[in-house]
Structure 1
Amino acid sequence: MVMSIDGSTVVEGRSTLLSNPSDRDVLVALRSAADTIVVGAGTVREQMYEAPSKKGLRVGIVTRTGKMDLNTDLFKSGAGFLIMPEDTKAPETNFKLDIVRAGRGSVDLPVAMSQLPGSFIQLEGGALLNASMFAANLVDEINLTISPMVTGADSPRLANGAPPLHSDYEVAHILEDAGFMFIRYLRKN
């Protein structure tokens, strides 16, 4: 995750404007270690997600409605799959689309995450999905880049809409490059 000094996770609707080459290198390294990527549908639409470069890495898109543009490389490559409620109608496609079903009316995140392969699930936002994952106590580790930028905008934060939480994390690593801070936090409790 990347955010500005004042906590914004996007500039002009995109997180990439907060990033730098070192941040992108960290993201690539995390993705290369991940078993699965999980991201919210809105973030996929806004950030124009593509298929990961790591062969076999899957991207699970959390969606309540299933309304996604499936005619993208992410889905046609077989890398993208949907994570959606059991009572939501599956989108029609002319190719095989994997769907993880959990919950009714909204995605039951603990149940959905338990169905995903591997032990390292890379959460890539957005803010609403982050908030839901924090609320469900599903975030064990946070890899956070702080960009040396103040946006001043009323924009999404790391976990918009989260209920009051008290989850303690401890710093595992801090690195700095060109004013960018790379911090790895591990959950304490």
Structure 2
Amino acid sequence: MSIDGSTVVEGRSTLLSNPADRDVIIALRAAADTIVVGAGTIREQMYTPPSKQGLRVGVVTRTGNLDFESPLFTTGSGFLIMPEDSVAPHADVDIIRAGKGNVDLQAAMAQLPGNFVQLEGGSLLNASMFAANLVDEINLTISPMVTGADSPRLSNGAPALHSDYEVAHILEDNGYLFIRYVRRN
């Protein structure tokens, strides 16, 4: 994220990153049981299969309008998280169903394997996860850039929330701050 709160530059988060940030992401993914990402982020960021063998990426979508020829899906790494009443895409892909009209995130998360779900955005999914009270930790990288752009923030569209987090770790690398927040008990 930029100093002024943007999570993307020119539609990509990688332009706000550095090698240490990528190392943090790799470490978090290595510890994760599942990665969850919004469909818009998958389309924009061109996700590839995770390097950790067996780690899968759940894509939250109402429509299933995705490129099923991308490596994320052709390798079997990607699966869908969809409402029960959404039409399934004509693709050989696993689907978790929860909710009607919209994904019931609490019910969907309960169906995922393991305990550590790595949420990787985008901002609309982040907002929904905050609203559903499903975010226990936030691992935030602050890039030493100001974008000045009207671009997505960490949590676009969330209702007014009051969740308390406390700082668990802060690291700095060449002007980049890596902050881990944990929910207060």
Coarse TM-score class (shorter-chain normalised): over 0.9
- Structure 2 equivalent of residue 24 of structure 1: 22
- Give % identity: 78
Which position in structure 2 is the counterpart of 1:103? Answer: 99
Alignment length, in residue pairs?
185
Structure 2 CA distance for aligned equivalents of residues 26 and 180 of structure 1: 12
Q: Where does the alignment leave 5 or more consecutive residues of structure 2 unmatched?
A: none
Corresponding position of 2:142: 146
* Deviation per residue, 1:75-102 (Å, 9 max, x gap): 0101100000000111112x3x110000
The 3-state SS of whatever aligns with 2:149 is coil
Q: TM-score, normalised by structure 2?
A: 0.99
Aligned CA RMSD, in angstroms, stands at 0.6
TM-score where L is the length of structure 1:
0.97
Secondary structure in 2 matching 1:125: coil
Cross-structure match for 1:11: 9
Structure 2 matches for 1:121-160, cutoff 5 A?
A: 121-160=117-156
CA deviation after TM superposition for structure 1 residue 184, in Å: 0.2
Per the alignment, residue 118 of structure 1 pairs with 114
Please give the alpha-carbon distance, in whole angstroms, between the structure 2 residues aligned to 1:110 and 1:30.
Answer: 22
What is the distance in 2 between the residues matched to 1:180 and 1:123?
21
What secondary structure does 1:9 align onto? Answer: coil
CA distance in 2, matches of 1:40, 1:18: 19
The offset of 1:70, in angstroms, is: 0.5
Query: For 1:63 and 1:162, how far apart are their aligned partners in 2?
Result: 18
For 2:142 and 2:77, locate their aligned partners in 1 and report how far apart those are by CA, in whole Å: 29
Query: How far 1:67 sits from its partner (Å)?
Result: 1.1
Residue type matched to 1:98 in 2? D
Structure 1 segments (4+ residues) deviating >6 Å: none
